[in-house]
Structure 1
Amino acid sequence: MNKLLKDFKEFISNVCRNAVVQGWSAFVVKEKLRLLKSELKVWNKKVFGSLDQELEVISENVLNIDLEGEEVSLSLEKINLRQSLLEEWWKFSKLKDNLLFQKSKCRWLKQGDANTKFFHACIRSRRSRNQILGLSVDGHWCEDVSMLSEWVTNHFRNQFSESSVRRPRLDGVTFSMLSEVQQIMLCAEFSEDEIKAVVWSCVRDKSPEPADFNFTFFQDF
């Protein structure tokens, strides 16, 4: 498994290194990830093939050894072979479980209703409660749209219009001010360390989109 992980890392490095993409940095990263995704599909079929077929073949080989052991005593070589086959079976079984988990997660994110019926009902109820059918204007109930529009416009125009009044002067009052260093920090661009800290703080099995690379990929590779 360690060798497989090492080969996988080398494969990713080679694909990203050999991919020739021109443009600004974010575009280059996006295109390289898109190319890597297509290459990973080929790599998966080449290295793993069909997990179900691999598990079936290993199970048959273990069964044949067990049947042979019921008739005659197994040699040390056969016993070691059976042990290695079981280790392979568990390895592929874990890979299949991880794959099924990822597929089910993507399917739920894309197709699952996520209680949307309940939340849509809440939204409709809230819109109904917030709907204004009429207003009391000068003590009279009014539902005429044009009159309501004119009254609301005049009301807020009066509320936000400024009258000429003398404002108090603040001579001698001191306010806290940002230092020059703090001003520079506010206007500075994000540093690579800041971006890396944010990415590394994300949950590893989360991803920006359902079919996208998760943060485990970015943190490990």
Structure 2
Amino acid sequence: MEIVTACWNEPIEGNPMWTFHQKMKSLASTLSGWSKMQFGDIYAKVTEFEERVKVAEDNLIQSNTEKHREELHGINAEYSRYMKLEDSIIKQKTQLQWFKEGDGNSNNSMH
């Protein structure tokens, strides 16, 4: 919230619509950078955790200990978290594409 507030409070000159548009562009860019710092590349993280799960599963198969079970459980929890983030991103991108195509289709049908 602090990032959004700080970004939104930056002074921008111009008419209200121009100001709003510029603040939205700045906010989108700022939040994109924040997301990369906070989460990194989600797709790379999912791939990384897939590999970590395989290694942890192999460790558990070779030595069925409490430590290896806990390790696998922890890695699976993180893997699940990144899978949900990736799924959420894909859904948002799909919705955005659908809106863009829908707008394009409705504009074409009016001509």
Matched, 1:13 2:5: yes
- The equivalences for 1:58-137 within 5 A come to 58-76=49-67, 78-111=68-101, 120=109
Distance 2:18 2:101 in 1: 29
Query: Is the Cα contact below 8 Å between 1:21 and 1:28 reproduced in 2?
Result: yes
Partner Cα distance (1:13, 1:84) in 2: 35
Q: Deviations over 1:60-99 (max 9, x none)?
A: 11111110111112243x3333222222111111111111
Structure 1 unaligned residues grouped into runs of 5+: 1-8, 124-221
User: 1:48 and 1:39, CA in 2 relative to 1: closer, same or farther beyond 3 A?
Assistant: same
1:10 and 1:79 map into 2 onto residues whose CA distance is: 39
Supply the distance in 2 between the matched residues of 1:14 and 1:82 (Cα, whole angstroms).
40
* Aligned ranges 1:30-69 → 2 under 5 Å: 30-69=21-60
User: 5+ residue gaps in structure 2?
Assistant: none
Q: Secondary structure at the match of 2:6?
A: helix
Which structure carries more helix by proportion? 2
TM-score (ref. length: structure 1): 0.42
* 1:107 partner amino acid: Q
Equivalenced residue count is 110
| Higher radius of gyration, 1 or 2 | 1
TM-score (normalised: structure 2): 0.75
Distance 1:32 1:113, change over 3 A: closer
RMSD (CA atoms): 2.9
Shift in Å at residue 42 of structure 1?
Answer: 1.7
**How far does the alpha carbon of each residue in 1:26-68 deviate from its partner, in whole angstroms, 9 at most, with x for none?**
5443322221111122222222222121011112111111101
In structure 2, the residue corresponding to 1:20 is in which secondary structure?
coil
Instruction: Verify the 8 A CA contact 1:55 1:89 in the aligned structure 2.
Output: yes
Residue identity opposite 1:80 in structure 2 = E
The question of whether the paired residues in 2 share the 8 Å contact of 1:68 and 1:74 is answered with no
Provide the rounded CA distance (Å) in 2 between the counterparts of 1:101 and 1:53. 18
C-alpha separation between the residues in 2 aligned to 1:29 and 1:113?
22
